[in-house]
Chain A
């Protein structure tokens, strides 16, 4: 049963990873504007000649 302790440690590390990913995304301004990127992605880059 002591394997559970290891599993818990793993899950906490994994979850903290997600938390830090979220904090990073807020810090880098990704949450400032949630609708423009959705429009930007539709714009094709014109072909390079």
Chain B
């Protein structure tokens, strides 16, 4: 698979060495940062890092060196991150999204070799967490964070409460599962003689012994393992609602009391085996539900986007203060590339605010003194001096999240199993009562037996087991495709979607592409190469696009290059002054000022226009595979792209220059016409729409990055799998419905016998596990079949 062309790959990060490569210690590095990490590892004899996992080098992130962590020097702010602190020991849990392979685990657990003062560090790879214990006398929190960032493991700083919220433990469930498993195994063992037809008269002692042992083993199953179901049903009853736990609790309690009665009255062996198996399978289902995607968080709020601390003017001195303490009227300072934390008035500074985060519009907006800047904007020029106008929790950005705080908004779409569960409980109780009333005058003992038999046979384990197994399996298959669902209910919601709404930038398109080049004078190949070398320094999207456009030209390492944030890049080469940037900055007076201009000394050389680069394969996906769905486009940008977008969307279905509110309203309007809308978007400007939609899909290039709150997180390239995703969810629902019908028919047949009081206890005891296992098999195999057939693999 190797190409003949030999590219120099950086020894640390595996990137192609674009500028002049740095040769150091017999290895090649693409930048100083990578070299620094290597030398740090080398110094501490940790070069094993590169040999443990072959992918280590290929996936490494570039180290982040320039991040400012000054605010962590403030003890109050730093302490908010610590789990525990005493004079000689401090503990902290970091969430490190960039952890990616076993080499990372190894290196992060060897931190004590690099940093004196670290007592020990331990990684939880699934959760991407690093637990560190260190000595605060030897190591400051700031140094720790800075060192991690310098190694390329920039922690996503979360306050203590936030990180605790993610750590909900499922230990209780595991204990219950363990006990249920233990009891089930032993009860099955003691029930075998019964299955095989042990002669109860000749082996009286053993039969009795086994029955009492079973009874003893069943007590912890009911009182401990089945406790969540019983308490769930009780809570439901107290709030006068029928939930799915209620029929289960009825089934469990009836099984237990009838079995206990049979054993004590010596009338039969009871159903302890069915009881324990039922509880065990229910718990396994619940565990699967908990286990899925514990590392991914879907409930991110504005706090995840904001900085942790901000510089506040206090008694004439700028000091870092935590964001929650920020009050109206305080003066704050925001540096270049920082987010504005609260709606404020501009007092001083050259404000060029990039609101792309909030509105999707990527051009920076110039704000004059005395005007208002809104939270969520990113300053792109110099330092700003601001006066806070509104508390953080009431700013424009935050209100996007909060104004529709009605979390129950999705009630329009009824969750299938809950509804059936409710209906089921009512019918079941009615049938059991009819049986009881019918038999009571005839034979009171038979009446009791028939009544309990009805409740046992009808126990809706299918309702509870089928959905978790089917949806859990479906989520697992989809996860392999880069589509992550928030919880199992989402599968049902997706299956009902009949209308699709898209955002443009970042969803249909990825990055930018140079579309049009106007040359004002002859540009030589050397000059092109020079231009490419200049823009190579900048990480701005427009520079990236230009850099990619000129990829045929070689680059050289330039010494005097300067990036002016929000304006452009300039360089001095052999007495030439080359500048690449906006028309305003270059002082160009032209009718058409859009795009990027290149100026050499005083001569304007070229103008480059950019257009969004659409994802590959959209034609096939949107026009052929999704032709049955009405499709809408809600974009925050101007309407310049209509000719291209017309291929995919009907003219009347496109809306441009949408504010976040407009997007949300457009979705609610569709819903009021009865549509079940799936919204696909990426930015914060879509957050409102994603929440209002029946299913919100957040598109991201990196699943560990922060995304707006949504039901589904989808990796950008998976958008081509959207038709498969929709179809697969529909099929999954079909499988679940199929297994419901199966168990309904199956249970009805036995119900007939139970109501007539003719069901043999042994037969009843065998029926239930068989039904559970059949449902389990139908769901697992059915989902697997549809996953293969639907290309989800």
- Chain A residues proximal to chain B, CB less than 8 Å: 1, 4-5, 8, 11-12, 15-16, 18-19, 22-23, 26-27, 31-36, 39-40, 42-44, 46
Contacts and interface: CB of A to CB of B under 8 A. Distances in A.
Interface centre among A4, A8, A39 (most CB of B within 10 A): A39
Given A15-B186, A42-B102, A33 B124 contact: yes
Interface of B: 45, 48, 52, 102, 105-106, 109, 123-127, 169, 171, 174-175, 178-179, 182, 185-186, 189, 206, 209, 213
A26 B109 contact: no
A19 B45 contact: no
A17 to B, nearest CB: 10
29 contacts: A1-B206, A8-B213, A11-B189, A12-B186, A12-B213, A15-B182, A15-B185, A16-B182, A18-B182, A19-B178, A19-B182, A22-B182, A26-B174, A26-B175, A27-B171, A31-B171, A32-B124, A33-B124, A33-B125, A33-B126, A34-B126, A36-B124, A36-B125, A36-B126, A39-B106, A40-B105, A43-B52, A43-B102, A46-B48
B64 to A, nearest CB: 24
Contacts of A22: 178, 182
Contacts of B45: 46
Contacts of A32: 124, 169
Looking at chain A's contact residues, the main secondary structure is: helix
A33 to B, nearest CB: 4
Nearest to B167: A32
B123 A19 contact: no
Contacts of B171: 26-27, 31
Contacts of A5: 209
Contacts of B189: 11
A4 B182 contact: no
B219 to A, nearest CB: 14
Given A4-B206, A19-B182, A22-B178, A33 B127 contact: yes
A43 B2 CA distance: 29
A44 B126 contact: no
A34 B209 CA distance: 40
B102 A39 contact: yes
B105 A44 contact: no
Looking at chain B's contact residues, the main secondary structure is: helix
* Closest 6 pairs between A and B when the two form their complex, measured CB to CB: A39-B102, A36-B125, A19-B182, A33-B124, A22-B178, A43-B106
B283 to A, nearest CB: 13
A31 B102 CA distance: 19
A33 B105 CA distance: 13
Contacts of B48: 43-44, 46
A16 B124 CA distance: 30
A1 to B, nearest CB: 8
Nearest to B171: A26
A18 B123 CA distance: 28
B718 to A, nearest CB: 23
Contacts of A11: 186, 189
A40 B725 CA distance: 36
Interface centre among B52, B178, B186 (most CB of A within 10 A): B178
B126 A35 contact: yes
A22 B175 CA distance: 8
B164 to A, nearest CB: 14
Interface centre among A36, A44, A46 (most CB of B within 10 A): A36
Contacts of B179: 19
B205 to A, nearest CB: 9
Contacts of B106: 39-40, 43
A44 B102 CA distance: 12
A11 B210 CA distance: 13
Given A18-B182, A26-B171, A36-B124, 12 more contacts: A4-B206, A11-B189, A12-B213, A15-B186, A26-B178, A27-B171, A32-B169, A33-B126, A34-B126, A36-B125, A43-B105, A44-B48
Contacts of B185: 15
Interface centre among B52, B105, B169, B213 (most CB of A within 10 A): B105
A39 B125 contact: yes
A16 B217 CA distance: 11
Contacts of B209: 5, 8
Contacts of B126: 33-36
Nearest to B125: A36
B99 to A, nearest CB: 10
Nearest to B172: A26
A27 B387 CA distance: 51
Nearest to B104: A39
